[in-house]
Amino acid sequence: MFTRQTLLAALAASATLMGVTVEAFAPPSAARSITMTPRTCNTPVAVSLSTMDDEVSTEEEPADYLLSASDLDDEEEGEEEDATPARFLSDARITELRETWRRHPTDTGSPEFQVAGMTERISYLTTHLKEHPKDYSTRRGLVALVNKRRRLLNYLFSEDEQRYVDIVGELKIRHKVPGAIASKEDKYGRFPGQKGGLKGKSKMKK
């Protein structure tokens, strides 16, 4: 059992830590009572909540928006303008050119009809390859299409020179007429042939 002095010392130490004072009074034979009174502290400063609200409301926080409403409107307008795909516009242009250069309403195979459609197709593929330079399969198809158009223009020049001039000038096609390209005999005829009549073969020793 603890003595009275030990208990009072423990209560005084705990009260000191908690911020209160302990007053013990009563004779040993009488009932003991302990009165705990809080320590006096500094007078609190009165603060009005309305004043704090006014200070908080007057401070404007900076707008932390990634996009404004005007930017979103501009993007929506741009999407509406670019809604039509380029392939659809190219197909419409091909149909228009074919109707312009066909010889009669049911024409589907004349050189002018084919050249007009190929020219617009070549233009579309050229634009596509500028955006996708590593699309090698499309590049291969483009080269084949250009060669086919060149053969058709050569045929058209041999059949109707005036129509050839009209379509090349209207569609702004770069093409050399067959007569402007020197043949093999014209280009290499001035050089003497190989001796012994063995062209491209070596003589075998017997």
The string of DSSP codes covering 123-153 is: HHHHHHHHH-TT-HHHHHHHHHHHHHHHHHH
Higher pLDDT, 196 or 111: 111
153: CB partners within 8 A, 6+ apart: 111, 115, 164, 168, 173, 175
Backbone angles phi, psi at 8, to 5 degrees: -65, -40
> In this predicted structure, what is the pLDDT of residue 63?
55
Q: What percent of the chain has pLDDT over 90?
A: 30
Can you tell me which residue has the tokens 């067959």? 178
**Which of 32-41, 98-107, 119-128, 138-147 has the lowest average pLDDT?**
32-41
Mean pLDDT of 52-63: 53
How far, in Å, CA of 201 to CA of 178, rounded? 31
Higher pLDDT, 183 or 200: 183
**pTM for the full predicted model:** 0.49
Confidence of residue 34 (pLDDT cuts 50, 70, 90): very low
How far, in Å, CA of 139 to CA of 130, rounded? 11
Higher pLDDT, 61 or 143: 143
> In this predicted structure, what is the pLDDT of residue 80?
53
How far, in Å, CA of 142 to CA of 127, rounded? 11
> With 80 as the cut, is the pLDDT of residue 201 above it?
no
What is the β-pairing status of strands 20-25 and 33-38? antiparallel
Q: Write down the mean pLDDT value for the chain.
A: 74
How far, in Å, CA of 201 to CA of 145, rounded? 36
